[in-house]
Amino acid sequence: MFLAKVLGSVVSTIKHPAYHGTKLMVVQPVKPSGEAEGASMLAVDTVGAGAGETVLVLREGRSAGEILNLREPPIRSIIVGTVDHINIVKDEA
């Protein structure tokens, strides 16, 4: 699971049946500081996320299948939570 920033949505008129009824979002992995980290990707939205929001993305096909109630989905990344706040505590040892 990783943090990501939602960049926007994707509209597709022709897609695999497993994607029917889902909302596809473009997400950019980010560090807790908000700095971009790695390449952007598509993720299925299950929480109603919008552009500019920080989200938790699960990147594991079997778990995505469990969440979407699909046996063997062609889905790898799924948005599973919206992040309200990140609190970083540094160890002063």
DSSP 12-80: -SS--GGGTT-EEEEEEEB-TTS-B-S--EEEEESS---TT-EEEEEE-HHHHHHHHT-SS-S--EEEE
User: 17 pLDDT exceeds 70?
Assistant: yes
d(CA 67, CA 70): 8
For 23-55, the pLDDT digits (tens) are 999 999 999 988 999 999 999 898 999 999 999
Whether the Cβ atoms of residue 26 and residue 12 lie closer than 8 Å to each other: no
Q: Please say if the pLDDT value at position 73 is more than 80.
A: no
pTM for the model: 0.81
Is 39 inside any structural domain? yes
Eight-state DSSP code of residue 88: -
Number of structural domains (the chain) is: 1
pLDDT band at 21; cut points 50, 70, 90: confident
- Whether residue 42 contacts residue 25, with contact meaning beta carbons closer than 8 Å, is answered with yes
CATH code for the domain in which residue 58 is found: 2.40.50.220
**Structural domain that includes position 15:** 2-82
Q: Answer whether residue 61 shows pLDDT above 90.
A: no
Note whether residue 88 is domain-resident. no
Residue 63 vs residue 2, higher pLDDT: 2
